Homo-oligomer: A and B are copies of this chain.
Amino acid sequence: MPEPRTILIVSDHTGLTAENIARALLAHFPTQPMRYLRRPFTADVSAAQAVTREVQALAERGERPLIFTTITRADVLTALQAAPAEIFDLLSNGLGVLEREFGVPAVREVGRHHDMHDTEAYLSRMDALDFALATDDGIGDKQYGLSDVILVGVSRAGKTPTSLFLALQHGVRASNYPLAEDDFERTGLPLPLEAHRHKLHGLTIDPRRLHAIRTQRKPGSRYASLEQCEHEVRRAERLFQRAGIPVRDTTSASVEEIAAGILAALRAG
């Protein structure tokens, strides 16, 4: 096993974008262990010099750190480039190309991306989050009418994390409909969902995985038993099929993947 490599995430703002790109790249090297150091809010020359000194100290101990940075101010970037490290300057090239493309200079202000600059988009994300939280514990038909998406599934199939992620990341208003025993007795859709057929997305899950998740919450309960999980999942899947609801399996999908699939379906539809 090689020594862990030090990965420095250096940003003039939150560091979310820099870390996101770094991880997207480094995920392609699964055998290489990494150690992350984050230096957000490195917004002026003296802050960059402090990072450079840190890197110097690592280099003196024989390390060769990798720096991933989204800094765009020329003087701050220059101060950072004095560090004895491989530097991944993530935005400069792209900004140069875009300047030529648009024929105007990039503003190169700090924190353009993760601040509230695009207030409308930000408020719609917060509004969608309030919406998801309000709808999380059983709701009325009015709220289904206001939803962009209604996630349908048995308890602990992944509805809540997905709806929160859809809200917080994408500003999409999602509600949940938890399937219960009564719903399985009907031949059609659950009554509150009938008027909203086009908004429905079913979530299913491997019964063994559901059993493990429910056992963590209520060990030894009937609710968590494998038998009950198998029963509920089987009947939920039958309901989805009968009603022609698109279904996603959450067993080995991340919330990022489930949300992206739902969004792609929404945009195509």
In the complex formed, the residue of B with least CB distance to A2 is: B102
Q: What are the residues of chain B within 8 A of A242 when measuring CB–CB? A: none
Q: Are B260 and A91 in contact (CB under 8 A)?
A: no
Q: Which of A28-36, A50-58, A196-204 binds B?
A: A28-36
Q: Are A88 and B97 in contact (CB under 8 A)?
A: yes
* CB interface residues, A 70-129, toward B, < 8 Å: 70, 72, 86, 88, 90-91, 94-95, 97-98, 101-102, 104, 106-109, 111-118, 122, 126, 129
Across the interface, A13 reaches (CB within 8 A) one of B88, B161, B257, namely B257
CA of A132 to CA of B263, assembled, Å: 25
Decide if A10 is an interface residue (CB 8 Å cutoff).
no
What does the 1/0 interface line of A240-267 toward B look like (CB < 8 Å)?
A: 0000000000001111110111011001
* Chain B proximity of A66: nearest CB distance (Å): 7
In the complex formed, the residue of B with least CB distance to A165 is: B168
CA of A107 to CA of B31, assembled, Å: 10
* CB interface residues, A 12-70, toward B, < 8 Å: 13-17, 20-21, 23-32, 38, 40-41, 66, 70
Decide if A164 is an interface residue (CB 8 Å cutoff).
yes
User: Given that A254-B115, A264-B38 are contacting pairs, would A29 and B102 also be in contact in the complex, using a CB cutoff of 8 Å?
Assistant: yes
Q: What are the residues of chain B within 8 A of A25 when measuring CB–CB? A: 91, 94-95, 98
CA of A263 to CA of B14, assembled, Å: 10
Q: Are A27 and B260 in contact (CB under 8 A)?
A: no
Q: What are the residues of chain B within 8 A of A267 when measuring CB–CB? A: 38
Decide if A160 is an interface residue (CB 8 Å cutoff).
yes
* Chain B proximity of A209: nearest CB distance (Å): 12
Decide if A133 is an interface residue (CB 8 Å cutoff).
yes
In the complex formed, the residue of B with least CB distance to A260 is: B14
Q: What are the residues of chain B within 8 A of A24 when measuring CB–CB? A: 17, 70, 91, 112-113
Decide if A169 is an interface residue (CB 8 Å cutoff).
yes
Nearest 9 pairs of A and B residues by beta carbon: A14-B260, A27-B112, A28-B106, A114-B256, A24-B113, A17-B24, A25-B94, A27-B113, A116-B254
Q: A17-B20, A28-B95 are in contact. List 14 more A-B contacts (CB 8 A).
A: A14-B259, A14-B260, A17-B21, A21-B90, A24-B70, A29-B98, A29-B102, A38-B264, A38-B267, A114-B256, A116-B252, A129-B164, A164-B164, A168-B168
Jot down 16 A-B pairs with beta carbons below 8 A, ordered by A: A14-B256, A14-B259, A15-B260, A21-B94, A27-B117, A28-B98, A28-B107, A38-B263, A38-B264, A41-B260, A86-B97, A86-B101, A114-B260, A116-B253, A129-B164, A168-B168
